[in-house]
């Protein structure tokens, strides 16, 4: 699906309606803040927000931070409004709440008149990209990190503060500093998506209580554009030390977005299926009310099938 609407319009009906994600499917919508130039458009986005959201945004003094906060909230509201099942709804009418750990979620109890499907969503943003993931029924976590992210401290010393022993061993075996930095960012992105999918956050589920691994499998995440000849990997959670606050019944996907970011998605597995169904992903780049472009199967949304194997120190003496 490709849709382009380059002239700004304020009618809510011009938000392109979408069918909700199917079982084990995730929809990802992302926006690049630098592409949103129009002050008039940003003013329209502000009008989509609740009074409390407006107040929170306007309290931010730094202009770029304020813009990113505005775009994140507008992206969530415009994205969720696409999936109304019976009629188009005003994004401003959506109600949200937070769980006991602070994760935002739809407030279905106070939005019953909108006839929303049982959607789950999660939002993540860096300074240069904002992404919203949407599923049906299944809790979701998403994280995006710039590939150029700089690590101020020594990577291994930093990893020892947050990562599991197996992950530290993996990173320590990589001799090339740039490869080591990239693999660190991938791991961080996956771990962040996992704790967000659990709905507990970093403080309730510390990163060093579980291990992220890539395991060879016949099935991987199903992103349009994957080459079937490529070796597939399933990302899993292993060595979980905190069984009360961790879960192994999660499935992951890892990709490059827009050529500049790593994006990780985590959602619950379908327990009604005997075995492991792959996660299906569909990705759109958007400027709400201006342009939507499906980028699944393009270089703007490239699947990553495993950790890098190059430049790893030999274990032989």
pLDDT at 190: 95
The answer to whether position 241 is within a domain reads yes
**316 found inside a domain:** no
Within-domain flag for 228: no
Res 242: pLDDT: 59
Question: In this predicted model, what pLDDT tens digit does every residue of 138-179 receive, in sequence order?
Answer: 999 999 999 999 888 899 999 999 999 999 999 999 999 999
d(C-alpha 213, C-alpha 219), whole Å:
15
What is the rounded CA–CA span in Å between residue 87 and residue 13? 10
Q: Is residue 267 part of a domain?
A: yes
* CA-derived radius of gyration, the chain: 20
Give Dmax (Cα) for the chain: 69
- The per-residue pLDDT for 313 is 39
Q: At what angle do helices 177-198 and 165-172 cross, to 10 degrees?
A: 160
Domain that holds residue 245: 25-217+235-303
In a domain, 15, yes or no: no
The pLDDT assigned to 241 comes to 61
Task: Tell me whether residue 12 is in a domain.
Answer: no
Q: What is the pLDDT of residue 38?
A: 95
pLDDT number for residue 15: 83
Q: How many domains does the chain have?
A: 1
Contact 144, 257 (CB under 8 A): yes
Residues of the chain with pLDDT under 50: 1-5, 10-13, 218-221, 223-229, 309-317
State residue 3's pLDDT score: 42
pLDDT at 220: 47
222 found inside a domain: no
The CATH number for 269's domain is 3.90.470.20
In a domain, 196, yes or no: yes
pLDDT digits (tens, 9 = 90+) for 212-228: 988 766 444 454 444 44
Residue 217 in 3-state DSSP? coil
pLDDT value, residue 215: 77
């Amino acid at each position: 699906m490709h849709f382009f609407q380059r002239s700004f319009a304020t009618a809510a009906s011009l938000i392109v309606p979408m069918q909700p994600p199917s079982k084990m499917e995730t929809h990802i919508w992302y926006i690049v803040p630098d592409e949103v130039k129009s002050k008039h458009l940003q003013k329209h986005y502000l009008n989509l927000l609740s009074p409390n959201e407006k107040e929170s945004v306007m309290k931010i003094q730094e202009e770029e931070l304020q813009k990113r906060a505005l775009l994140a909230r507008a992206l969530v509201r415009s994205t969720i409004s696409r999936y109304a099942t019976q009629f188009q709804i005003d994004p401003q009418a959506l109600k949200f709440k937070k769980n006991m750990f602070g994760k935002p979620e739809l407030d279905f109890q106070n939005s019953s008149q909108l006839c929303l499907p049982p959607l789950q969503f999660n939002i993540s943003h860096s300074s240069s990209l904002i992404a919203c993931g949407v599923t049906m029924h299944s809790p979701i976590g998403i994280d995006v990190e710039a590939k150029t992210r700089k690590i101020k401290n020594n990577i291994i010393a930093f990893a020892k503060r947050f990562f599991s022993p197996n992950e530290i061993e993996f990173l320590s075996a990589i001799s090339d500093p740039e490869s080591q930095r990239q693999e660190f960012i991938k791991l961080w992105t996956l771990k962040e998506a996992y704790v967000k999918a659990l709905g507990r956050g970093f403080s309730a589920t510390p990163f060093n209580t579980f291990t992220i691994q890539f395991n060879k499998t016949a099935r991987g995440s199903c992103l349009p554009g994957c080459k079937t000849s490529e070796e597939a990997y399933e990302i899993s959670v292993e060595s979980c030390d905190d069984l009360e606050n961790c879960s192994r019944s999660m499935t992951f996907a890892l990709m490059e977005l827009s050529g500049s970011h790593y994006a990780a998605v985590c959602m619950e597995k379908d327990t009604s299926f005997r075995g492991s169904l792959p996660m299906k992903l569909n990705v759109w780049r958007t400027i709400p009310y201006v342009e939507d472009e499906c980028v699944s199967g393009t270089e703007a949304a490239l699947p990553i099938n495993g950790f890098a194997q190059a430049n790893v120190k030999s274990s032989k003496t």
